[in-house]
Structure 1
Amino acid sequence: MLEYDTFELGDFPLRSGATLRGARLAYQTYGSLAPDRGNAIVYPTWYSGWHWNNEWLIGAGMALDPERYFIIVPNMLGNGLSSSPSNTPPPYDRARFPRVTVYDNVAAQHRLVTEKFGIDRLALVTGWSMGAGQTYQWAVSHPDMVARIAPFCGSSRTSVHNKVFLEGVKAALTADDAFAGGWYERQPAKGLRAAARVYAGWGFSQAFYWERLYERLGYSSLEDFLVGFWEGFFLDGRDANNLLTMLWTWQNADVGASPGFGGDTAAALGSIKARALVLPAEKDLYFPPEDEAWAVRHMPNAELRVIPGVWGHFAGFGANAEDTRFIDTALRELLAQ
């Protein structure tokens, strides 16, 4: 699970104008590449996630079956495995790590896919949350390369409301005196715990809490869930500067910012050639179905299919069997087309 490979990007220019020298992209693969290289799937990671967190949707008999497909899971820049504030030497270390866009992430992944594996056609790109944003970006950046996309619980453009939420996470992380402007010697634990509490009100829906579904996850009370799940999640190997780097990426995500579109998100979506199955969750507070319905209206070959239920954004986390079956079934149908 913890094993992975690294693709050396060398001196990697970013959209911000900075160059990340000695950049590297961590990734894991599942399955074998077919002789014609036609069975490749890219499945990017999400905010704070690592490649092994994607494995719940990969397996024998599932849509993403490694016996049939070659599945590449690239780790986002900033997640601690790929080039990040926590592992980059000076001068771009820690608080000086440069701004990274979703476009930059996909540019790095494209180099991995083409240079390392010689792949010129992808059967599918899919992903959850920020992975969904990267999925949209793949289809915009490389329209002739991507046959199908299935972004779930994510968006092509971060909404204003979503940006407001992220300001709360940012404020919690940086308010801890131990943060020291990003030059801390130890993790700002109070800030990480506070960020977890901010996140807790958004990751799952109001109905999830009303029905006390956290008990199905093995937590004996609300406070047990807030500490055991949420605070535990943020304290489990996550670095504050890494989180802030990925937060900036999320906050500034917009396929309309891709070269050639001048900030026109609708035009960027209209350029997508891939067959698209867009899967928002019914009660997702970050990426509500209405936002993705807007995106689908601007895409030439897209279907909206809402994941039902009360698990909110974490419908795409693999936390319950019903949502996993829904997503897996949708991917299976899309791959069959």
Structure 2
Amino acid sequence: MPGTKHPTLELANFALERGGLLTPARLAYQTHGSLLPDKSNAVLSPTWFAGDHTANEWLIGPGRPLDTDRYFVIVPNLFGNGVSSSPSNTPEPNAAADFPDVTVRDNVRAQYHLVHDHFGIERLQLVVGCSMGALQTYQWAVSHPDMVARALPFCGSPKTAPHNRVFIEGLRAVLTAAPGAREGRHAPGHAAALRAFARVYAGWGFSQAFYWNERHRELGFASLDDFLTGFWEANFAGQDINDLLAMLWTWQHADVGTTEGHDGDVTKALAAITARVIALPAQKDLYFPPEDEKWASSHITNGSVEVIPGEWGHLTGGGADSAGARFIGDAIRRLLDAPVAN
């Protein structure tokens, strides 16, 4: 992870939903812009799988979709990402493979302490996130409907679908196949497991059309082999396997229906959302397909779906696809300007 400075909120004796205790839990975050005296201009932007707070910065800044001349943007790091509490930075008895299971709701509960208790913010103008950030966005809208005025999840869903879970199982199998790979970054098999992981992921992150039309050339890679090595392997080379496994567990078990009071019913949970919601699935996303979000939106009172066009698949949400980035940015601006109930 980048060595940028960032503040951290410590939460003493943080009890986890599935059991276990982080003593303390450390929630790393970054802020951009200035909070108004009445605290009415706050936006929350949770992070995605294997990304830290810097990965969201393409959307943040003066004149950008999350305009820091107008908004105070909080970017909390996902537990397990190597910046917030994670297997790689947590001491015994929760170190490495002994790190406890952390749910999306655990993340949102910690973020609530940051937003409400630390900053004193009663209402978020927008929660916006990509992929695992979208999982957190939906959970915020379900867990704290009175706090979330608007929500924009992109390239994500309110529940990890069965096919998505199968994809994650394949990733887990790759990371755990090499003996000793979980014993640390310098353990035998660690680097090889990450390379294999990256190559499996490469078949899912972009669409078939992306590869057919050799769009990797637009990212500066002359050949497919160069792309697999220089983009995919490089992307995961610095990761810790136990961190990746922790985040995969969180992702795999995401389900707003299991929120207290909703009895495991996803439709009931979605119906409880009062925020104005625009969901932005990518047209050719292989594991968060548009039809899933169209189904989810049909159960949200103020929900709508706009499909990001193009061939970039899931990674259109990362900002590298200029057309996709404009589409996402335009939707964020329109949603922030849209009226909502007080």
Q: Under a length normalisation based on structure 2, what TM-score does the superposition of the two structures give?
A: 0.96
1:37 counterpart letter in structure 2: K
Which residue in 2 is equivalent to 1:97? Answer: 99
**Secondary structure, aligned partner of 1:82:** coil
1:85 is matched with 87
Q: Residue type matched to 1:249 in 2?
A: T
Matched, 1:271 2:268: no
1:178, distance to aligned residue in structure 2 (A): 3.4
Contact 2:165 2:252 in 1 (8 A): yes
Is 1:234 equivalent to 2:236 in the alignment?
yes
Partners of 1:37 and 1:17 in 2: CA distance? 34
Shift of residue 303 of structure 1? 0.8
Please name the residue that 1:297 is paired with.
Answer: 298
Query: How far did 1:59 drift?
Result: 2.1
RMSD (CA atoms):
0.9
Post-superposition offset of 1:185: 5.9
Matches within 5 A, 1:1-337: 2-179=4-181, 182-184=182-184, 186=186, 188-235=190-237, 237-337=238-338
% of aligned pairs identical? 59
User: Distance between the aligned counterparts of 1:277 and 1:147, measured in 2?
Assistant: 12
Cα deviation, residue 61, structure 1: 1.2
What code does the residue aligned with 1:336 have?
D
List, as ranges, runs of 4+ consecutive aligned residues in structure 1 with deviation greater than 6 Å. Answer: none
Q: Output one character per residue of 1:128-171: Cα deviation in whole Å (capped at 9) or x when no partner.
A: 00000000000000000100000000000001101111111111
How many pairs are equivalent?
Answer: 334
SS for the counterpart of 1:151 is: strand
Q: Could you list the runs of 5+ residues in structure 1 that have no partner in the other structure?
A: none
Q: Deviations over 1:12-66 (max 9, x none)?
A: 0110121111111000000000111000000000001000011011122122011
User: Residue 263 of structure 2 aligns to a residue in which SS?
Assistant: coil
Structure 1: which amino acid aligns with 2:266?
Answer: T
Aligned equivalents of 2:281, 2:61: Cα separation in 1: 23
How many angstroms does 1:177 deviate by? 2.1
* Aligned counterparts of 2:286 and 2:6: Cα–Cα separation in 1: 33
Q: Is the 8 A contact 1:273 1:300 kept in 2?
A: yes
Aligned 8 A contact 1:25 1:82 in 2:
yes
**One-letter code aligned to 2:271:** G
Per the normalisation by structure 1, the TM-score is: 0.98
Distance 2:180 2:210 in 1: 34
CA drift at 1:184? 3.5
SS where residue 177 of structure 1 aligns?
coil
Distance 2:105 2:274 in 1: 18
SS at match of 2:222: coil
Using the alignment, how far apart are the partners of 1:300 and 1:227 within structure 2? 45
CA separation in 1, counterparts of 2:217 and 2:23?
Answer: 47
The 1-side partners of 2:313 and 2:289 are apart by 9
Contact 1:130/1:154, CA 8 A, preserved across alignment:
yes
CA displacement, residues 166-208 of structure 1 (integer Å, 9 cap, x when unaligned): 11111111112231xx333625011111110110000000000
Determine the C-alpha separation between the residues in 2 that align with 1:246 and 1:316: 18
Three-state SS of the structure 1 residue aligned to 2:13 is strand
Q: CA deviation at 1:67?
A: 1.0
- Structure 1: how far apart are the matches of 2:131 and 2:111? 17
Given that 1:102 and 1:134 are in contact with CA atoms closer than 8 Å, whether structure 2 keeps it comes out as yes
Instruction: Name the SS of the counterpart of 1:277 in structure 2.
Output: strand
Structure 2 stretches of 5 or more lacking a match? none
Distance between the aligned counterparts of 1:132 and 1:51, measured in 2? Answer: 15
Q: Provide the secondary structure at the position in 2 that maps to 1:186.
A: coil
SS of structure 2 residue aligned to 1:138: helix
Q: Is the 8 A contact 1:178 1:186 kept in 2?
A: no
For the residue of structure 2 that corresponds to 1:259, the secondary structure is coil
Q: Spell out, residue by residue over 1:78-100, the C-alpha distance to the aligned partner (whole angstroms, 9 max, x if none).
A: 11110000011101111010000
Whole-Å separation in 2 of the counterparts to 1:199 and 1:226: 10
Contact residue 185 and residue 191 of structure 2 kept, 8 A? no
